[in-house]
Structure 1
Amino acid sequence: MNSSEQTPTGGRDPVRVFLVDDHALFRTGVRAELERAGDAVTVVGEAGSVAEAVAGVAHYQPDVVLLDVHMPDGGGAEVLRRVRSTRSSVVFLALSVSDAAEDVIAVIRAGARGYVTKTISARELVDAVVRVRNGDAVFSPRLAGFVLDAFADRPGAPPISDPELDLLTPREREVLRLLARGYAYKEIASELFISVKTVETHVSSVLRKTQLSNRYELSRWASDRRLI
């Protein structure tokens, strides 16, 4: 990532940014680049693991989290899952060396507002941070097509894998889909010709695999993946 000229704030307060990457040297470089890029953003904190990221976001309450995709203890999607359940106002922008379709789709499905690669310039990164804070979706040019293919249901579009969704069996997906639509356990059992106890077993399995706590979180998770 190369530095560039200063970027104006446009009259608004600086965007409060929190950095998440397991490489301390990279975090130092990004912080330095952002701080040299003008007063549009301010780095309020950083983390090198999922647990540190969750605690740091809760403590610093940033506007935007710059999030690495791959980390040893769970990665960007796991940070998103934990933080979004309690702090839905925080915006996430993935910043990764990976430009693989499955990585892009996984974090977007988890709730990131954009995805840029680490070849981005400092000026472009500041612009991306400001834009996602203001409600835009931002992608490095060639990555936008992955998202369109995955979410537009275009005929002939290649299937994009979702590691979390792939953990569920076909029957668990059926149960989850009906649950997210508001069906009661008894109604799900009748619809799928199974017992209520079997429905409960499937729901418990889905909760365990997704590491969610209740049917309301499951409904949002299913909606994000267009299962409803």
Structure 2
Amino acid sequence: MSGANMDKPTARVVLVDDHRMFRTGVRAEIGQTERTNVDVVGEAADVEQAVSVVTSTMPDVVLLDVHLPGGGGVEVLRRCASLEGVKFLALSVSDAAEDVIGVIRGGARGYVTKTITGTDLVDAVFRVRDGDAVFSPRLAGFVLDAFAATDTPPVDEDLDRLTQREREVLRLIARGYAYKEIGKQLFISVKTVESHVSAVLRKLQLSNRHELTRWATARRLV
């Protein structure tokens, strides 16, 4: 690699879409830029592949289709919620409000439609990598309207007391997972899971996992 190329901003990307031809097209489009290096470090066609590839490569940005075999983009977001430093940008043919709102609630940093140009997509990747939220025109309005209309307060002080890992354990407990299953999914020991659960119960002033499940369900965290 030349010195000039090494000076370019670089982003490591995983492409998640169930159409191989589309992935091939995106790879070609985002590779054709003189100002930046977008390194596609993995591809996936369904939820299971996506979780495996994202977990093993830990990219800067995941370009994530909304409709996927195995549960869709929201399921990928849920199962990758504990991965630090990985950001998700939805890239979909759909511009339906429910799809946009669903993946943003799930943790995606932006949502662009497949009509986007290669240059604009590269720009969106770097903006998301750097922490910005990126939306195709008019899609941002869906999100603003949805969050303005929500019944829950924008700040939940109880939830804010929990660390990111404690929130993930909380969600899995509320979904009925056993400690051993949680440990396997989050790659931590059962003892560590027990420690996180104890911390969550203490911080939320709850007595047991049944109360915890009711608490999480009431806040639509499950």
Secondary structure in 2 aligned to 1:98?
coil
2:62 pairs with 1:65: yes
Cα distance in structure 1, aligned partners of 2:147 and 2:204: 23
Task: Return the match for 1:45 from 11, 17, 42.
Answer: 42
Q: Give unmatched runs, 5+ long, in structure 2.
A: 152-173, 175-200
Cα distance in structure 1, aligned partners of 2:134 and 2:98: 17
Change over 3 Å in CA distance of 1:200–1:100 after alignment to 2: same
Give aligned pairs, total.
Answer: 168
Q: Give unmatched runs, 5+ long, in structure 1.
A: 1-7, 156-171, 173-178, 187-198, 207-214
Task: Return the match for 1:182 from 204, 207, 215.
Answer: 204
Aligned Cα RMSD in Å?
3.1
> What TM-score do the two structures reach when normalised by structure 1?
0.65
Cα distance in structure 2, aligned partners of 1:15 and 1:112: 17
Instruction: Answer 1 or 2: higher relative contact order, Cα 8 Å, separation at least 6.
Output: 1
What is the 5 A alignment of 1:1-228?
13-38=9-34, 39-85=36-82, 87-153=83-149, 182-185=204-207, 200=210, 203=213, 222=219
Cα distance in structure 1, aligned partners of 2:89 and 2:73: 10
Whether the aligned pair in 2 keeps the contact of 1:84 and 1:90 (CA below 8 Å) is no
Q: Which amino acid aligns with 1:54?
A: V
> What is the CA distance between 1:41 and its match in structure 2?
1.5
Whether the aligned pair in 2 keeps the contact of 1:15 and 1:64 (CA below 8 Å) is yes
Whether the aligned pair in 2 keeps the contact of 1:40 and 1:130 (CA below 8 Å) is no
Task: Give aligned-pair identity as a percent.
Answer: 60
Whether the aligned pair in 1 keeps the contact of 2:46 and 2:68 (CA below 8 Å) is yes
> What is the CA distance between 1:9 and its match in structure 2?
8.8
Residue by residue, what CA displacement relative to the aligned partner does 1:141-184 show, whole Å, maximum 9, x if unpaired? 110000100112389xxxxxxxxxxxxxxxx9xxxxxx8x8141
Q: Which ranges of 4 or more aligned residues in structure 1 deviate by more than 4 Å?
A: 8-12
